[in-house]
A and B are shown apart, each in its own frame.
Chain A
Amino acid sequence: MSDSLLLLAMLVVPALGAAVVAALPGDREATAKQAALGVSLVVLVLAVLAALAFDPDGERFQLTSSVPWIPGFGVDFALGVDGIALVMLLLVGVLVPVVVLASWRDTSPGRRSMRTFFAWLLLLEACMVGVFAATDVFLFYVFFEAMLVPMYFIVGSFGGPRRQYAAVKFFLYSLVGGLVMLAAVIGLYVVSEAAGEGTFSFTALNDLDIDPTAQRLLFLGFFVAFAIKAPLVPLHTWLPDAGAEAPIGGAVLLVGVLDKVGTFGFLRYCLPLFPDASREFAPLVLVLAVAGILYAALLAMGQSDMKRLVSYTSIAHFGFIALGVFAFTTEAGTGAVLYMVNHGIATGLLFLVVGMLIARGGSRLVGDYGGVAAHAPKLAGVFLVAGLASLALPGTNSFVSEFLVLIGSFPTRPVFTVLATVGIVLAALYVLLLYQRTMHGPPRGVLFPADDDATAGTAVPEPGHAAGATAASPAGVTTTGTAGTATLTRAAGVATRVRDLSRREVAVVAPLVALVLVLGVYPQPLVRLVEPAVAATMSDVGAGTPDSSEGTD
């Protein structure tokens, strides 16, 4: 095997970084942040190097390295990437430094040092790299489970008021899924053992011919774990809680990357290893996928908590990804992989900007905001870009993936595709309702305490209010002023001026905004990386590009 140490380095660097940050004395928070940022940037550079070293038309798995780990059971510490895993590594590489920078001013809700937070973050990065880069099923399982621990602590120690509940719920769901998958992993080994040599190597397992009954059972084992992770309805209810209670940085990585392990698992493990079962169960999965698109979109509209709302939109998006994967065409599959990346960027951006709003107002409720656009145009602009990417407007990255999923699914699955397409109307509704309620209208809510009773529910604010705005008050301020001071401030024509994005915040969102636009106009570089791997997967499952000259109706 040709050895490349790049992937190993991507794994070891953040793991070591985590250890170093964790070992820092408790009062060295600034050093911890800088170290975390530095380490995550190194990983980003390594990811880019990996992408440059990767030949899309070459072997399926590249940058491989392997050492025997538990020789008795044929377990290897084997790393390698195909195009699909590679783009996920790139996503990890981009998102982690963004998250570090976004969490720069976060404070821990308890008395814990934020140093610990950054240490967990780096450990999480190492686990995420491992889970995508593993080419040994057992190793994949280890990372799949290990990933839970840092995320558990990120949610449980640094999250919102109900963080403990959310963290445990997240843990239990994942635990159940993980256990079921463990059984399937062992089952897979048993099957390989029966067929000759016991192995966990993906490549070897892929060559096996597994009998249909075993395929069904093993498929279900993996599927349940993945369907919990990238939650498909009805296994989704842990995500809104976790997404709402996680600190913003954690939520970005949870929804942006961690959940994609589920859809990645569909593509990497379910389809190639159990092709017959995949075809058999596809209608069921598609029902769940499309139900999720519509159901979660409707639920998103009904949420009053912004972070829950974004979580529900993600569940709808996972429905699109599952549709793309189980439509069994190269176009839809490629769309699904791009969707995984683009959703990480777009929803990551949406979570970040929602977090910036929450940092100013101290409330997660949609109803506590209003009219922000007039006072913080940059914040509103980024909010809109994130929202438009979320509703897959052409010109943003998400359009390319959603369009590919739908146009690629239509030839094989017209009915499901038509139903899913209705989802684009619902997406417009939930995004624009959120945007209108928080950004448009007269200024009101927690950010404009003095104006509360003056303008709430009335039409246009007096021009003087905006013009006479003075000193910014600190974020998180609430209506604690007595009636007397409120009258005073109103008489003086003072409205709280909302801080627009700071330079740090601009640095946080700028890379993602740029990616939204660049990948929306010129997605081909990503497509080139992904398409061969998807085509290989689809040929494993006995499908591929639909013969479009023959219609299916």
Chain B
Amino acid sequence: MDTGGLDTVAADGLLSAAWLVIALPLLGAAVLLLGGRRTDRFGHLLGTATVAAAFVVGLLCTVALAGSDQRSVAVDLFTFIGVGELDVRAGLLVDPLSATFVLLITGVGALIHVYSIGYMAHDPRRRRFFAYLNLFVAAMLLLVLGDNYVALYVGWEGVGLASYLLIAFWHERPAAATAAKKAFVMNRVGDVGLALAIFLMFAQLGTVSYEGVFGGIGTLAGGTVTAIGLLLLLGACGKSGQFPLQAWLPDAMEGPTPVSALIHAATMVTAGVYLIARSAPIYDLTPTARTVVLAVGALTLLIGAIAGCAYDDIKKVLAYSTVSQIGYMFLAVGLGPVGYAAGIAHLLTHGFFKAGLFLGAGSVMHAMDDQVDMRRFGGLARRLPVTFVTFGLGYLALIGFPFLSGYWTKDAIIEAALDRGGTSGWLLGAVAVVGAGLTAFYMTRLMLMTFLGRPRWTEGVHPHESPSVMTAPMVVLAVGSVAAGFLLVNVFPLDEWLSPVFGAPEEAEHVVAPAVVGIVVTAVVLVGVLAAWLFVGRREIPVVAPERVSPVTRAARQALYADAVNESLFMRPGQWLTRALVWVDNRGVDGAVNGLAATLGGSSSRLGRAQTGFVRSYALGMLGGAVVVAGALLAVTAG
């Protein structure tokens, strides 16, 4: 194989204990869920400790991997499902890609666990919260560590469950309960795609392991490979909130804010990017599927950015920002070998700054009695200095302020898009640049409305800085937001580290010189910032959103009518269909078959009256039947 990532060897030494990474948080979840109230007192500590321990194990494994000549190590545990031709292993694959994700998940995960100790301190169900978080971490680690598509699928739906439980954590609120269900069901639509892709792989290749599938994919017909690629993409779109399955992600903000930070920003929603990057050997063979990935990414990055400009709910703005940023990552991995590493790099830096931004938003909500309406914020910089500074650094990193994280990783994607050349290259590049400008606009608007300007607080609100158990993780993430991009590009080059998986980085032929790209993007970002200052910063912000706005604003406030489309195309017709079928089943089918059965079994009035005497006559009938049988048998034997 050209990628070399398939020369997998069996694990020995420390790496054979890689399963501990998953087992630790899983054990934590089990203890906290089964232990009940007895574990209330230390539940949050135990939950945090298991993830921290998993991080340590993950780090040791990564160091061991980096120190050995083998860059792809298999840990085979047991047969999960083995029937006939099908052999699904419970097996793990430790390679640079999965190790990178393990560090992100457990590292950011541990920080968010720490933060949650403070954030959920007054919630009577805090222990349960940590149990669900642990469950999520375990499932997410299985998703990235599994060595076959079925193991990935198990983790994939496992994180879906954890996401469901956590979105609905405050399930007394109907909105939270509905959002959780919506997330799960829309994810399941995507999961159908993933499942069918797995079925197709098995039918064509007789295997579901990465090694087997990637080894044999070259022998398949082009159409089949494209079908697999598109089906995988459907799964990826569901999990990552990409068009046309993006509408669940903003609603998922009904969950507690640490959940939004960990699951709906830093880790789970990036699983789609992981899936596509992991399936690189498949996508390398199908330019058609890759083009669709590109289109989905470009379209979603615009949809997310436009919607982000219109919302007043601080978490929803960040959520649409996430949708948009993952669009960038899809765009990157859709470019193929030139973009895989860039997409993963942006995924990592985004993990830092978006998690930090969400934790900051949580800190703001903590200070503002759980309000999320930015029209009710303003002037918080002085009251929440730590939050302001850390959030501000995350903001700068996200909009691509020179030399901060986003600058390095987002510009790399824009460059790669332009390097594609031709009309599509220019088009994608333009979309990505416009997206950067919009990002600058909505994030600046958010900063202005939240931290600067005059206070527009609801009466009785007394903002105060969060306790250090919450601010400390924010500080760590802010440091990451500043430095990660530089480190990943210049100090520990991610593309080299990932080269065993994606192939060695090549010096690309640049269509536009990187320096020019950097300058143009920075200029567009500046325009976005200025525009936000002109439209938002200079003016008095009304505490109630103005009703009379342009059609564009109205469309953006409805997130370009995604929910309306889903409702009128699927939900309402589905409800009608269900109601109609219930009627048909009760009247039509039951009536017809009943009538037949009644005619055969006796008079229909009997069925209606349903007398106990009926059984007596049945017993008699049975006796009669037995006699008939005996007679028939006799006749047969005699004759």
Contacts and interface: CB of A to CB of B under 8 A. Distances in A.
Given A331-B86, A374-B172, A549-B206, A406 B195 contact: yes
Given A190-B636, A237-B594, A299-B582, A441 B85 contact: no
Nearest to A183: B632
Contacts of B172: 371, 374, 440-443, 460-461
Contacts of A429: 185
Contacts of A414: 203
Interface string A141-161: 000010000001000100000
B196 interface: yes
B81 A527 contact: yes
Interface centre among A172, A176, A460, A527 (most CB of B within 10 A): A172
Nearest to A171: B618
Interface string A212-238: 000000000000000000000111111
Given A172-B607, A237-B585, A440-B177, A394 B154 contact: yes
A169 interface: yes
B368 to A, nearest CB: 18
Given A175-B618, A186-B632, A406 B199 contact: yes
A219 B636 CA distance: 20
Nearest to A545: B84
Contacts of B81: 400, 403-404, 523-524, 527
Nearest to A297: B578
Given A298-B577, A299-B578, A531 B84 contact: yes
Given A400-B81, A432-B181, A407 B198 contact: yes
Contacts of B79: 524
B42 interface: no
Contacts of B622: 145
B615 interface: yes
Contacts of B188: 424-425, 428
Contacts of B598: 172
B610 A172 contact: no
Prevailing SS type, chain A contact patch: helix
A522 B154 CA distance: 13
B629 A182 contact: yes
Contacts, number: 214
Contacts of B589: 233-234, 236-237
B173 A460 contact: yes
Given A176-B597, A524-B82, A548 B206 contact: yes
B581 A299 contact: yes
A387 to B, nearest CB: 11
Contacts of A422: 192
Contacts of A399: 154
Contacts of B173: 459-460
A406 B153 CA distance: 14
B202 A298 contact: no
Nearest to B600: A176
Interface in B567-604: 574, 577-579, 581-582, 585, 589-590, 592-594, 597-598, 600-602
B184 A428 contact: yes
Interface in A392-449: 393-395, 399-400, 403-404, 406-408, 410-411, 414, 417-418, 421-422, 424-425, 428-429, 432-433, 436, 439-443
A15 B606 CA distance: 32
B625 interface: yes
B158 interface: yes
Given A331-B83, A394-B157, A441 B171 contact: yes
Interface residues of B, number: 79
Contact of A164 (B84, B153, B579, B610): B610
B618 A441 contact: no
A407 B86 contact: yes
B381 interface: no
Contacts of A73: 633, 637
B577 A436 contact: no
A354 B612 CA distance: 29
A435 to B, nearest CB: 8
A411 B614 CA distance: 49
Is the contact region of chain B dominated by helix, strand, or loop, or is it mixed? helix
Contacts of A237: 585, 589-590, 593-594
Given A182-B625, A406-B195, A302 B185 contact: no
B78 A522 contact: yes
Contacts of B177: 436, 440-441
Nearest to A527: B83
A313 to B, nearest CB: 14
Nearest to A172: B601
A552 interface: yes
B69 to A, nearest CB: 34
Contacts of B206: 548-549
Interface in B101-136: 128
B150 interface: yes
Interface in A163-192: 164-165, 167-169, 171-173, 175-176, 179, 182, 186, 189-190
A418 B85 contact: no
Contacts of A175: 601, 618
A410 B200 contact: yes
A182 to B, nearest CB: 7
A436 B150 CA distance: 29
B203 A410 contact: yes
B184 A169 contact: no
A345 interface: no
Contacts of A443: 172
B174 interface: yes
A293 interface: no
Interface string B212-237: 00000000000010000000000000
Contact of A407 (B158, B202, B612): B202
Interface string B360-372: 0000000000000
Contacts of A182: 625, 629
Contacts of A404: 81, 83, 86
A168 B610 contact: yes
B335 to A, nearest CB: 30
A545 B577 contact: no
Given A331-B83, A395-B154, A459-B174, A548 B610 contact: no
A8 interface: no
Contacts of A303: 582
Given A295-B581, A428-B188, 16 more contacts: A168-B607, A168-B614, A233-B589, A237-B585, A237-B593, A298-B577, A298-B578, A302-B579, A302-B582, A400-B81, A404-B81, A407-B199, A417-B199, A432-B184, A440-B172, A546-B203
16 contacts: A156-B615, A169-B594, A179-B625, A193-B637, A236-B589, A237-B585, A237-B594, A295-B585, A393-B161, A394-B156, A395-B157, A410-B199, A425-B185, A441-B172, A459-B174, A548-B204
Interface of B: 33, 78-86, 128, 150, 153-154, 156-158, 161, 164, 168, 171-174, 176-178, 180-181, 184-185, 188-189, 191-192, 195-196, 198-200, 202-206, 224, 574, 577-579, 581-582, 585, 589-590, 592-594, 597-598, 600-602, 606-607, 610-612, 614-615, 618, 622, 625, 629, 632-634, 636-637
Interface of A: 72-73, 145, 152, 156, 164-165, 167-169, 171-173, 175-176, 179, 182, 186, 189-190, 193, 198, 233-238, 295, 298-299, 301-303, 329-331, 334-335, 371, 373-374, 377, 381, 388, 393-395, 399-400, 403-404, 406-408, 410-411, 414, 417-418, 421-422, 424-425, 428-429, 432-433, 436, 439-443, 459-461, 521-524, 527, 531, 535, 544-546, 548-549, 551-553
